[in-house]
A and B are shown apart, each in its own frame.
Chain A
Amino acid sequence: MDPLHPAFRDLLKQAHPDLTDAIIDRYEELTARQFLLDPEADAERFAALDRERQRILREYMPRYRELWQEFEERRRSR
């Protein structure tokens, strides 16, 4: 899986005051493990990792998707 761009990590922390590098690292580890799995052949393990990952997103990074969209648009326009 693509690694997290350091500039986006900074954006996430600026937008979420309670967010720490440790939480982001935990999210990244779950993501890396989840998306090496086949979602259909390994459905149970995929779903278990996804539940934990989504929980972290909801609790600590609710603006992730909106920030990602802005970040990608800026990168594409360069």
Chain B
Amino acid sequence: MATTTGLVQQLKWNPALGAVFAWIGPTPQDTRLRYVLFRRDESSPHRSIRRNLVFGLTMAQWFRLPVVVTHGDGDAEISTLTIPPAARLYVVDRPIHLDFFSVTADGIPGDAVLVFTSAGGATTQVVPDLIRPQLAFVAKLPTTVPLGPGTLRGTSASGWSTLPVAIDVLAGPPRVKRVIQPGPSKPNPFTFVIAGDPALWTPSTNTYAADPVMANRSGYHDSVLYGLRNILTLPEDCFRANDRDVHIRFVSIFDSSLSASDQNSLAYTSEPNIIGPRRSQMAAFARRYGETADLLFAVTGDPIYTRASANLTVDDDARPGVTFTYDGASHVHRRFTTAPGCAAVPWTAGAADPTWLHELGHAVSSTASGSIFDLYVDGGPGGFQENKKFRAAAPDPIPTSFAALDGTIYASDPTRDALGYPPEWRSYHAQLLDATRPNLMDNFWYSTPYTAVRFDGLTHRFVIDRLSAKFFR
């Protein structure tokens, strides 16, 4: 027996022959002709089988589902028909023109396309801006997608196809809160909130002003896409290794109705060009929209204050955690937080740098369980620093071993990639995962391209373990 697979591109009933002809293949131009033959003298059960074959072919054609038909080796008459289980697509939230739009499914391929079909039959294909195996994300749903009721399905040139789902496309307005990826269905998924900052605080004058990002929703959408690409597509994979990003709930909040006041201010400015997150406001802000944030990044829009910075997570020491040892001393990655790790990032951050990922390196860490600090300066914040150690004096040799994490020894970086340790420095770092580039927490501007930088091996493991403690609570 032989098989033919593909989409049912065309069906034709030939009454004179008593046959239904089926053209099966990946495209209308690339098909194989097969047929179902109704014989005058065959029994009722056999005729029923033929009818079922035709019904199945018809349904497969209608829903654009791939089929597998069997037939004789030198023969085109169809003996059996199989329609493999099709992927199911889940729309996260209602499609609205120019708003974020995302769908979840299993095994979304990198060449996936979203096909919108209106009630009148008009189709529009939308290529997602970001694809993960579980998520297809569009930063701004094009206005070419037909309004009103219709269907949506996923498809790809590589053969992936989903059942269609009913949708109703709106012209607007974009939502204030948009769930980008719902995360696991449990009461407390690890939640990463991205918010447009409603108001900037100037500490020196204790005044509040509307953040310019509130007048630039389109730029905010671009920033969110840039940030998600930073987190989910760059060579540094600690947020997505083994598809672990399926455990993250991503939410966007953009509320331009808020006044410029203390409780609505997520970021502050500091001379001459620095933007800082107001960690004290983050948790309460997210709760107002029904979210408990583990991480919160505030996107700001001032054109001068564009140097991003982050604050560490404050873990909830009263709740459970996962114990680990660092150089033999016991520490705990707590599963929950009292204040989210956070950052203020400018919407002008370009797609060509790893700023979000760098700030995330700070934000996911905590003072109690080991802070992750900048490696482009010699000093540190004091306390337990996970990624930096100090020699007693600058001329002292760098130790071969940097640290032991859960009993595994990680070597030191003897040369600080190509940058070198300045002769007056006492600090030193752990061995890099990519020795040809600076550490992500070092001066990544010295890498080509900027976005190719990675953590050192110790910090990579440390962050994965820390996130696991929170993802799997």
**Residues in chain A within 8 A of chain B (CB atoms):** 1-6, 25, 28-29, 31-33, 35-41, 50, 54, 57, 64-65, 68-69, 72, 75-76
Contact among B268, B304, B307, B373 for A39, CB-based, below 8 A: B268
Q: How far is the CA of A69 from the CA of B303 in the complex (A)?
A: 8
A interface SS class:
helix
Interface residues of B in 353-388 (CB under 8 A from A): 355, 358-359, 362, 371, 373-374, 376-381
A-B contact pairs, 14 of them (CB 8 A): A2-B359, A3-B374, A6-B446, A29-B379, A31-B274, A32-B377, A32-B379, A36-B381, A37-B381, A39-B276, A41-B280, A72-B348, A75-B350, A76-B348
Give chain A nearest CB distance to B78 CB in angstroms: 59
Contact partner of B371 (CB less than 8 A), chosen from A4, A29, A35, A36, is A36
Instruction: Determine if A36 and B308 form an interchain contact, defined as CB atoms under 8 angstroms apart.
Output: no
Q: Which of B273, B362, B380, B443 contacts A3 (CB 8 A)?
A: B443
Could you tell me if A36 and B311 are in contact, using CB atoms closer than 8 angstroms?
yes
A72 interface neighbour in B203, B306, B374, Cβ under 8 Å: B306
Q: Does B298 contact A (CB under 8 A)?
A: no
**How far, in angstroms, from A65 to B279 measured CA to CA in the complex?**
25
Contacts of B444 in A (CB 8 A): 3
The answer, yes or no, to whether B312 is at the interface (CB within 8 Å) is yes
Contacting A at CB under 8 A, from B203-241, are 203
Q: How far is the CA of A68 from the CA of B285 in the complex (A)?
A: 31
* B31 CB to nearest A CB, Å: 48
Q: A29-B378, A36-B381 are in contact. Are A54 and B276 (CB under 8 A)?
A: no
Contact B378 A25 (CB under 8 A): yes
CB pair A2–B270 under 8 Å, yes or no, is no
Q: For B273, give the chain A residue with the smallest CB separation.
A: A68
Binding site for A on B (CB under 8 A): 203, 268, 270-274, 276, 278-280, 303-304, 306-312, 348, 350, 355, 358-359, 362, 371, 373-374, 376-381, 422, 442-446
Task: Report chain A residues within 8 Å CB of B445.
Answer: 3-6
* Contact for B272 among A28, A33, A35, A65, CB less than 8 A: A65
Chain A residue contacts of B377, Cβ below 8 A: 25, 28-29, 32
Q: State how many angstroms separate the Cβ of B314 from the closest Cβ of chain A.
A: 9
Which of B273, B355, B371, B446: most chain A Cβ within 10 A?
B273
Q: A65–B304 contact, CB under 8 A?
A: yes
User: Given known contacts A65-B271, A65-B273, A72-B348, is B378 in contact with A35 (CB within 8 Å)?
Assistant: no
Which B residues lie within 8 Å of A31 (CB)?
274
Interface centre among A3, A38, A39 (most CB of B within 10 A): A3
Q: Which residues of A contact B268 (CB under 8 A)?
A: 39
Which B residue's beta carbon lies closest to that of A34? Answer: B270
Are A1 and B446 in touch, CB under 8 angstroms? no
Q: Do A2 and B308 have beta carbons less than 8 Å apart? A: yes
Instruction: Tell me if A69 and B304 are in contact (CB < 8 A).
Output: yes
The docked-state distance in angstroms from the alpha carbon of A72 to that of B349 is 10
A32 CB to closest chain B CB (Å) equals 4
Given contacts A3-B445, A65-B272, A65-B273, contact A40 B278 (CB under 8 A): yes
